[in-house]
Amino acid sequence: MQQRPLGPFTVSAIGLGCMNLSHAYGQPPSPEAGRELLARALDLGCTLFDTAALYGFGANEELVGPVLKPHRSKITLCSKGGMAGVQFPDGVKRVIDGRPEAIRRNCEDSLRRLGTDVIDLYYLHRWDKQVPIEESVGEMSRLVAEGKVRTLGLSEVSAATLRRAHAVHPITALQTEYSLWTRNPEIAVLDACRELGVAFVAFSPVARGFLGTLSDVSGFDAKDIRRSMPRFTPGHYAANRALLAPVQALADARGVTVAQLALAWLLHRGEHIIPIPGTTSVAHLEDNLAAADLALSADEMALLDGAINQRSVQGTRYNSTTQAEIDTEEFSA
């Protein structure tokens, strides 16, 4: 497995986003299947594992922790706080809360569920716009001073917010969606990360299945978050699927999958970029990690750039409610 720097750590060039094993895309796999996939990732040389307090409202950390514990000194463990499940009279609901006391509570809960004394990279999952970023990162820096966290990260923030946070405490990584069909980081964040020496961690690098094997959006589970994403509505999705023809042709010519091309494209975009695809399939995991060794020519990069981009894709990334919660730059209409 190729390696890349992530702050003080050296990690596999492609990591594993663990969310799918407990959260977001409908009925998750059984815990046994989840443990099998995590074990296979370890066997294949994956050393970067990404989870969060939100995923399954703690269930993902409880799944991941015991599997990774025997390998703790050989892997980089990442989790996130500032957005978690909170118990209400009518059930557990997602709440964004960047107050210092909430971040501390989230972190201590994560440490307990993960069965570890320290989290290598701890992200602010979402910037709570009711709380100055300096206050949230200030509390996170105290977690570093206390030895509960080694390094800090941010998720779904703009270059301006990154700079404000970095002035309080060095930020090791910024995590945002980035793929052929989501190019928002190219507006400002990628350059800011490069300038500040911050690693860029790309989540949903195969576009939530669009650049994988997802062909039909009519059968989504009732709890699948893609049901509320405009790009996955039937009309938009049919138009977006049509964009894949030249990409599929290149994949066929190279004897690889579209997902492998998409991951290799990201790796070629910059040495500071680390994709973290998630999957519930061992076969897809093996394909994804193999993409670290796929070399692309300048002509192939240009073909991929031109086929699927912010000008050709139909539908916004999030609906208006979710969009209001994030801080990433957006292309003008």
- The token duo for 83 is 């957005």
* Displacement of CA 205 from its chain's centroid (Å): 8
- Length of the chain, in residues: 333
Give 292's contacts (C-beta < 8 A, 6+ positions apart). Answer: 1, 2, 12, 13, 14, 263, 267
Distance CA 305, CA 74 (A): 35
Give 219's contacts (C-beta < 8 A, 6+ positions apart). Answer: none
Query: Which of these is catalytic: 25, 55, 122, 237?
Result: 55
DSSP helix/strand/coil, 322: helix
Determine the residue type at 94: R
Dihedral (C-alpha) 196, 198, 204, 210: value to the nearest 10 degrees?
A: 50
Enclosing H/E stretch for 302: helix 298-307
Residue with tokens 């046994």: 32
DSSP helix/strand/coil, 71: helix
55 classed as catalytic: yes
Give 210's contacts (C-beta < 8 A, 6+ positions apart). Answer: 181, 231, 237, 240, 241
Handedness of CA 74, 112, 57, 39 (dihedral sign): positive
- The token duo for 302 is 């240009």
Show which residues are catalytic.
55
